Amino acid sequence: MSSPTQHSAWQALAQHQQEMASVKMTELFADDSTRAESFKASAAGWTLDYSKNRANANTMKLLLELVEQAGMKSAIQGMFHGDHINNTEDRSVLHVALRASQAQDSLMVDGVNVLEEVRSTLNQMEKFVAQLHSGEWKGYTDKKITDVVSIGIGGSYLGPKVVAEALTPYKKDGIKVHFVANIDGSDITEKLKLLNAETTVFIVSSKSFGTLETLYNANAARAWCIDQGVPDADIKKHFAAVSSNVEKAVKFGMAEENIFPMWDWVGGRYSLWSAIGLPIAVAVGMDKFYELLDGAHAMDQHFKTAPLEENLPVIMGALGVWYSNFHNAQTHALIPYDHYLRAMPAHIQQLDMESNGKANLLDGSGVATDTGPIIWGGAGTNGQHAYHQLLHQGTRLVPVDFIAPLKTHNPVADHHAQLFANCLSQSQALMVGKSLEQAEKELRDAGATEEQVAAIAPHKVIPGNRPSNTLLTEQLTPFTTGSLIALYEHRTFVQGTIWGINSFDQWGVELGKVLGTDIYNRLVSDSDNSMLDASTQALIDAFKKAQS
C-alpha cells in the first residue's frame, strides 16, 4: 500500500497550497460571481455550500485527482460488493446493506444473501415494536410496558441515542426510551429511580456481548428487577438483547426468542441501522425507522453513483484532507444549529475518531501523514457564547461544518429566524473577519480617544479567512437524519481511503481494556503493586484507603 504522499496530486497540492497561502476567500468571491452556485452540491435532502473554503477551481480539481489516485471508485465498489475491506479482521463492511433491503432483492456476500437476514431481522423488530406499543407484550404483572431502557456503550449507544433525540418530534406516545451506558453506577441508578420494574423492558445491545460496561449494567438491571419482585421465570418478559454472539447472550440468561441478530459485517459505530437501532424504532415506530433507512440509502446511492465532483461525501472528505494535511488543522468542528441535533457531534466523533485514528497503512507500515483529526462540536447558538471565540481569534485553524434545517418543528415567535441568522453570521464572520482599520474606525465612531483606539483596536481584529461548510435541509425528518449520518459515514471512509488506512477496525481500544482489568484486580485484592510505576501505585492506594 503506497502512502498518499506518493500520488502526484498530493505533491501538486503541496505546491498549490503555497500559491493559495496569500489568497483570501473574500477575493475568490469577488473574482467569481458564480462561486456560490458552483461550489454547491445536493443529495438526499441536503445541500452543501462549500464556497466558504480556501479553495478555487484548481484546488478542487487537484483534490479530486487525489481522490481518483487513491482508488476511490474501486474502494466504493469494494465496500458495496461486500469485499473484505476490513483487512485486519478479514471482514466485509456492509452497513450499506442494512438500508438497502427495501430497494434491492439480494446482496450475496460470502455465499449468503445478507439482505434476507436484514429483512428477517426488520420483521422481528416490527413484531417487537408492535407488541410493545399495542400492549400485547406485558410485564410479569400483566401490565403494559411504559419504559424501555437501552443498555449498551460506544456504537451500541451513541448512534441510537443521538438519532432517537434527533427524532424527538416524531416520538410515539406511550413508551419512554432511556439510555444507560457508563459503568459509573450513577448512570443506571438515576435511570432506575424513574422506573417501575413491572412496566419496564431492558434492551441489552452489544455486538460482542462481552463489553464490561454493558454486562455490568445488564447485571445491575437484572438484580434490580429481582429486587423489585420479578420472579426468575419472568425475567424474560423484561429483557431483550441485540448481539452477534447469541451463545454468549443466552449464557447470560437472555431468552433466545428475545435475541435480535447482528453480524460481523456491521461495525459497532456503523450499527444504528441494524437491530442496535431498536430503541429508535421503539421511540418513533417502525414506519419512521424505515424512513431513516431510506434516507441513508438515498445517500448511499448518491455516494455510489454521483460523479466525484458532485459527490457530497467525496467533496467534504477531500476538503477535510486539504485542511488536515496541507494546512495543519488538528481538529474539525461540527456545529448543528438545531436543538435536536445537539448530541450529533458526539456520534460523529466516535464514528470518525474510532475509524480514522490510525497510524498504519493497510499493509501495516507506518503512515507518513497525519490521519483523522479531532472531531468536536456542539449546538449553536450555545457554542457562540463558549468556544467560538477560539474559532474566530485563536491561533489554530478549525474548519467548521454548520448544519441547519430551513424549517423548525417548533415555531416560537421569531426564534427560528434568529437561530438561522446566527448560523449564517458565524460562517460569514469566520470568512470576512475584521481588519485593524475597521476596528479603529468602529472605536472612533463610538467616541474613543486615540489612546484608547491604539490600545483596544488590535484586540478587536479578527483575522477571517477561516473555512466552513454549510449543510442545509428543508426540515429535520427521519429521512434527512438518515441521509445526514450516512453522509458523515461515507466522508469518514473517503478520508480513510485517501490516507490508505483501515477505517473499520479499532485495535487501539484494546490495551486500555486489558490494563483496566489488571488494575481492577489490584483494587479489589491485596496484590503486590511494587512493580508498578509510583504514580499508579499511589492512585491505587488512594482508592483502597477511601473504601476502607
Q: State the DSSP string of 444-478.
A: HHTT--HHHHHHHHHHH-B-----EEEEEES---H
User: For the window 398-427, what string marks contact with ligand F6P as x by the rule CB under 6 A?
Assistant: ------------------------------
279 binds ligand F6P (CB under 6 A): no
Minimum CB separation of residue 21 from ligand F6P in Å reads 39
Q: Which residues contact 257 (CB under 8 A, 6 or more apart)?
A: none
154 binds ligand F6P (CB under 6 A): yes
Euclidean distance between CA atoms 354 and 501, whole angstroms: 12
Q: Which residues contact 279 (CB under 8 A, 6 or more apart)?
A: 148, 150, 160, 161, 164, 177, 179, 203, 205
User: For the window 350-369, what string marks contact with ligand F6P as x by the rule CB under 6 A?
Assistant: ----x---------------
The three three-digit cell numbers of residue 21, written as one number: 497561502
Task: List C-alpha distances in Å: 388 to 322, 426, 439.
Answer: 22, 9, 19
Which span (137-145, 207-215, 436-444, 497-505) binds ligand F6P, by CB under 6 A? Answer: 207-215
Minimum CB separation of residue 410 from ligand F6P in Å reads 32
372 binds ligand F6P (CB under 6 A): no
208 binds ligand F6P (CB under 6 A): yes
| CA 398, chain centre distance (Å) | 18
Residue whose C-beta lies closest to ligand F6P: 268
Minimum CB separation of residue 509 from ligand F6P in Å reads 4
Choosing from 269, 288, 388, 416, the residue that interacts with ligand F6P (CB under 6 A) is 269
Q: Does 136 qualify as catalytic in the annotation? A: no
Among residues 165, 198, 213, 354, the one annotated as catalytic is 354
506 binds ligand F6P (CB under 6 A): yes
Euclidean distance between CA atoms 268 and 246, whole angstroms: 16
Q: Report the SS3 class of residue 513.
A: helix
Task: Give kind and range of the element (H or E) at residue 295.
Answer: helix 286-305
- Identify how many contiguous H helices and E strands the chain contains and give both numbers: 22, 13
How crowded is residue 412: how many other Cβ atoms within 10 Å of its Cβ?
7
Choosing from 115, 118, 149, 153, the residue that interacts with ligand F6P (CB under 6 A) is 153
Q: What is the DSSP letter of 84?
A: -
Cβ distance to ligand F6P smaller for residue 445 or 510: 510
Q: In what order do the strands lie in the sheet containing 468-473? A: 40-43, 46-49, 468-473, 400-405, 331-336, 374-377
CA 370, 506, 81, 96 torsion-angle sign: negative
56-331-340-160 Cα dihedral, nearest 10 degrees = 120
Euclidean distance between CA atoms 478 and 486, whole angstroms: 12
211 binds ligand F6P (CB under 6 A): yes
Contact (Cβ atoms closer than 8 angstroms) between residue 145 and residue 139 = yes
Q: Does 354 qualify as catalytic in the annotation? A: yes
Choosing from 206, 301, 349, 492, the residue that interacts with ligand F6P (CB under 6 A) is 206
Choosing from 155, 160, 336, 478, the residue that interacts with ligand F6P (CB under 6 A) is 155
160 binds ligand F6P (CB under 6 A): no
Q: Report the SS3 class of residue 20.
A: helix
Choosing from 16, 54, 207, 332, the residue that interacts with ligand F6P (CB under 6 A) is 207
Among residues 193, 385, 459, 545, the one annotated as catalytic is 385
Q: Does 213 qualify as catalytic in the annotation? A: no
Which span (67-75, 206-214, 232-240, 336-344) binds ligand F6P, by CB under 6 A? Answer: 206-214
Cβ distance to ligand F6P smaller for residue 10 or 260: 260
Which span (41-49, 204-212, 424-432, 469-477) binds ligand F6P, by CB under 6 A? Answer: 204-212
Cβ distance to ligand F6P smaller for residue 343 or 540: 343
User: Which residues are near ligand F6P by CB under 6 A?
Assistant: 153-156, 206-208, 211, 214, 268-269, 354, 506, 509
Active site residues: 354, 385, 513
